């Protein structure tokens, strides 16, 4: 097989197997446990999001049955309330305790390595720009002002849906949060965690009557550079696009 990428995926799958009687052993250093919330204290602006609202008349199984990928959107804004519900549904806090908090999605070891960066293109009463979702406070931190649709679309292998969407959600991973406990096996769990978030994204979008699609094909470094992350400690992983259905 002539493939310049080689067989690193096959090798990883084999090398990260758990084998009875030969599990990796290491002591967890609780002093060095990475923080599970990222914040930007020097953000250009803080945007407090409205509390997420839920329509009690929505039928769960209809949401499941109707969920699909949408690749064409109307050129109309979504509401700030919709954005709030989407973010909360992806990874919002549900049951909060002094030393721990559960979220709307599961995560291996409760370590939650995934971060969310919404790129706002067309949301009512919200300026365009790149934001970070502060999960612990349920608000947005503005990192860069401006229209970044072209850059995001280019980073998504030039896919037009990322240009036409109302919001592009870039999901990144802070690898050490998971590696601290699971060593090299962590990558398996990171991808599972991203999948949990992606599915919730689809289901909340459908419940809100919005169109959604996820994108796994990205030029990693282009997206990382846009977000000003290093691609090593934290790297882009996945993108979700949202908009009004045609």
For 107-147, write each residue's pLDDT tens digit. 999 999 999 999 999 999 999 999 999 999 999 999 999 99
Domains of the chain and CATH, by start: 43-49+70-245 (3.40.109.10)
Residue closest to 246 by CA, chosen among 213, 199, 210, 215: 210
The predicted pLDDT at position 97 comes to: 85
Residue closest to 83 by CA, chosen among 37, 51, 60, 130: 51
pTM for the complete prediction?
Answer: 0.95
Q: Show Cβ contacts of residue 33 under 8 Å, excluding neighbours closer than 6 positions.
A: 180
- Distance between CA atoms of 103 and 239, rounded to whole angstroms? 20
Please give the DSSP secondary-structure letter assigned to residue 123: B
Question: pLDDT, tens digit, for every residue of 69-110?
Answer: 999 999 999 999 999 999 999 999 999 887 788 999 999 999
Q: Show Cβ contacts of residue 65 under 8 Å, excluding neighbours closer than 6 positions.
A: none
């Amino acid at each position: 097989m002539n493939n310049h990428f080689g067989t690193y995926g096959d090798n990883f799958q084999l090398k990260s197997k758990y084998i009875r009687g030969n599990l990796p052993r290491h002591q967890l250093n609780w002093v060095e446990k990475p923080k599970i919330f990222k914040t930007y204290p020097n953000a250009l602006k803080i945007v407090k999001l409205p509390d997420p609202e839920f329509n009690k008349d929505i039928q769960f199984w209809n949401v499941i049955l109707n969920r699909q990928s949408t690749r064409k959107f109307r050129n109309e804004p979504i509401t700030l309330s919709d954005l709030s519900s989407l973010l909360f549904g992806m990874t919002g806090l549900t049951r909060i305790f002094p030393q721990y908090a559960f979220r709307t999605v599961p995560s291996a070891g409760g370590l939650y390595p995934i971060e969310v960066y919404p790129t706002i293109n067309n949301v009512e009463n919200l300026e365009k720009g790149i934001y970070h979702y502060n999960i612990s406070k349920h608000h947005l931190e503005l990192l860069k002002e401006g229209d970044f649709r072209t850059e995001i679309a280019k980073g998504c292998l030039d896919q037009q849906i990322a240009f036409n969407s109302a919001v592009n959600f870039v999901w990144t991973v802070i690898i050490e949060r998971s590696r601290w406990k699971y060593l090299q096996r962590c990558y398996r769990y990171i991808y599972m965690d991203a999948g949990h978030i992606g599915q919730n994204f689809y289901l909340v979008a459908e419940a809100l009557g919005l169109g959604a699609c996820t994108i796994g094909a990205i030029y990693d470094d282009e997206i990382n550079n846009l977000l000003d992350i290093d691609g090593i400690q934290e790297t882009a992983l996945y993108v979700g696009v949202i908009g009004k259905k045609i």
